[in-house]
Amino acid sequence: MLKEQLMEDFKNAMKEKNEIKKNTIMMIRSAILQVEKDTQKELSENEIIEIISKELKKRKESVSDIEKSGRTDLLANINEEISIIKAYLPEELSKEEIEQIVVETIAEVGATTMKEMGKVMQAVKPKVAGRADNKLVNEIVRAKLA
């Protein structure tokens, strides 16, 4: 479904001659196709969301570099790309919602020490896939296990 939506939006962006949207969607689609070629299988919706999340993360990381260089023209483009990519991701979870999921997962896994953090992270990841920044999830898990 998400792949079809991307293709449809790609066609519309070409018709509208919206270069930034067209290029952004093309980069997302090529990342998806590359992973499909590498793994030789059709990706699930969650796997596609993961790839889109990675593309979003790349853009967010480049914002600080662009700000340092003072290229406001590039900054506007990156921010537009970020908003385009966010449209394909499920709504992000609030910090409170992430904390709730982490607390429930810690109880499910039975973790009590920092040594079990990997086990907790592995169980939390699929629950928040594409809807939370892994760095924030990591911080919350650390705080709850400390």
For the segment 89-146, what is each residue's pLDDT rounded down to a tens digit?
Answer: 888 888 899 999 999 998 888 888 888 888 888 889 888 877 888 888 899 988 888 7
Angle, CA of 8, 47 and 3, to the nearest 5°: 10
SS3 track for 7-41: HHHHHHHHHHCCHHHHHHHHHHHHHHHHHHHHHCC
Side-chain-facing half-sphere of 66: CA atoms under 13 Å? 15
Measure the CA–CA gap between 30 and 52, rounded to whole angstroms.
Answer: 11
In the chain, the amino acid numbered 14 is: M
Handedness of CA 36, 130, 127, 144 (dihedral sign): positive
Indicate the pTM of the whole model. Answer: 0.75
Measure the CA–CA gap between 110 and 118, rounded to whole angstroms.
Answer: 13
In the chain, the amino acid numbered 144 is: K
Query: What's the pLDDT at 60?
Result: 87
Residue 42 DSSP class: P
For the segment 41-83, what is each residue's pLDDT rounded down to a tens digit?
Answer: 998 888 898 899 889 888 988 888 888 888 888 888 899 999 9
